[in-house]
Structure 1
Amino acid sequence: MATQRPPEPPTPPPGPGGGSPEEPLSEAAVIAMHSDPRFLALKKSLFSFVFPMSLAFMAWYLLYVLMSAFGRDVMGTVLFGSVNVALVFGILQFVSTFGIAILYTGYARRKLDGPATALRDELQNGTTGKEGNR
């Protein structure tokens, strides 16, 4: 009885620089990337979205927890039928989580994806920003 080998997984198409998108950067490229002003600008842009949004969400969540612990009368207020304020707060936690994810997706598309892809492709090709601008 002959044994069959499992089929080979398809190879991903090459990226714009000739290498696959999953191809790791060389050590020199990683070092060059960390000092590249474009990379630093990308980090700053990411931080300018993530930090305030994280603070806002944590404050919103903390309000929910504190109201559940110390504002039981308010949270127990029936709005209609068997729906109370606590249930609405809880559902709004999920809504705000999905809302933040949607906002981040749009932000990343507009401000991060293009420059990050260009920088990655340049580094995968073996050039750095300083060499590529000469």
Structure 2
Amino acid sequence: MTTHPRRLISSGSPLEPQIGFSRAVRKGPHVAVAGTAPIAPDGSTAGPGDVYAQTVRCLDIAEAALAEAGATLADVTRTRVMLTDITRWKDAARAHGERFADTRPACTFVEVSRFIDPTWLVELELDAITDQP
């Protein structure tokens, strides 16, 4: 029986060890990307008030984590889009559709009451399965 090592992908966030999480985890061909918030490189919120811009930023962060884990957006099998205002789902869907028009993973949109930072309007989670070693 082949065992697959567990590979942790870090975002560098100081919250990772405090909370006990990783940006992504790869185990064999499976990659899970944790809830990804619209955090700009300077630590502020990207696209304040703009669901589309925040979704794009979340996807950029998640795509970078996938790449570090040896996967691509084409390997994504499931996404979860969490919004604080479900009536704005079309803005998030537009960004999602731009990245996943051909891949078309299973996808769920849900409304949540809030996130850790009240300026975040959206978070995304991704699951992928890759043939790449």
| Category of TM-score, reference length = shorter chain | under 0.3
Q: Identify, as 1 or 2, the structure richer in strand.
A: 2
Higher relative contact order (Cα pairs below 8 Å, separated by 6+ residues):
1
TM-score by length of 2: 0.24
Q: Identify, as 1 or 2, the structure richer in helix.
A: 1
TM-score by length of 1: 0.24
Of structures 1 and 2, the larger Rg is shown by 1
